[in-house]
């Protein structure tokens, strides 16, 4: 049993929106939320397929349209329209810190906003300061920090960040094989 306020998120990606919809239908029903990596679908600009995916019944959806700067596949010009559509129908939408996505923090849409920051190069010192900066720009949105783990100590720095955050306000973990402990132990 996960601690109160801790969600298990299953991330899925596919090369087309239809394949992503099929993968969503096959997602593990024990997942609290299913993250849809829209940026990985080559036909992500096909409005009818996108809307059909968002309307698909099932577990809550977290829509991510990750930019190339943050490690994804989406081009800058296409992200805003996709994020606006997702805000209207998804349960959660991932917005990137420090850029044009922040204009979407307010305005129409039922989705809960998540403001994320990724460092694919490593886990910098001063994660608390980074989290504070993101929290200031995010308003009431969830804050998400994801870094690349180069050493076991990176997992401990992410753990310390989570322990210092108010419950239900922060998502943080490490990427890569050395970051697996941060994902497994995050609930603790």
Catalytic residue among 61, 144, 157, 159: 144
Q: Contact 1/186 with Cβ under 8 angstroms? A: no
Catalytic residue among 37, 118, 135, 157: 118
118 is catalytic: yes
96-to-76, 87, 108, 138, 151 alpha-carbon distances in Å: 12, 14, 18, 10, 26
Q: Contact 54/102 with Cβ under 8 angstroms? A: no
CB atoms within 10 A of CB 11: 13
Task: Compute the residue count for the chain.
Answer: 188
46 is catalytic: no
Catalytic residues: 118, 144
């Amino acid at each position: 049993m996960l601690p109160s306020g801790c969600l298990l998120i299953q991330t899925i990606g596919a090369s087309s929106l239809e394949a992503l919809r099929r993968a969503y239908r096959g997602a593990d029903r024990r997942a609290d939320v299913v993250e849809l990596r829209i940026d990985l679908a080559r036909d992500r600009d096909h409005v009818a397929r996108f809307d059909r995916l968002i309307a698909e019944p099932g577990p809550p959806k977290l829509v991510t349209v990750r930019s190339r700067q943050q490690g994804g596949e989406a081009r800058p010009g296409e992200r805003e329209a996709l994020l606006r559509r997702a805000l209207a129908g998804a349960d959660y939408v991932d917005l990137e810190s420090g850029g044009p996505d922040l204009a979407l923090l307010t305005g129409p849409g039922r989705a809960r906003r998540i403001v994320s920051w990724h460092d694919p190069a490593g886990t910098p010192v001063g994660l608390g300061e980074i989290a504070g900066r993101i929290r200031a720009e995010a308003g009431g949105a969830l804050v998400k920090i994801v870094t690349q783990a180069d050493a076991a100590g990176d997992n401990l720095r992410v753990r310390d960040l989570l322990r210092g955050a108010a419950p239900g306000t922060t998502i943080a973990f490490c990427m890569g094989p050395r970051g697996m402990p941060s994902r497994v132990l995050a609930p603790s």
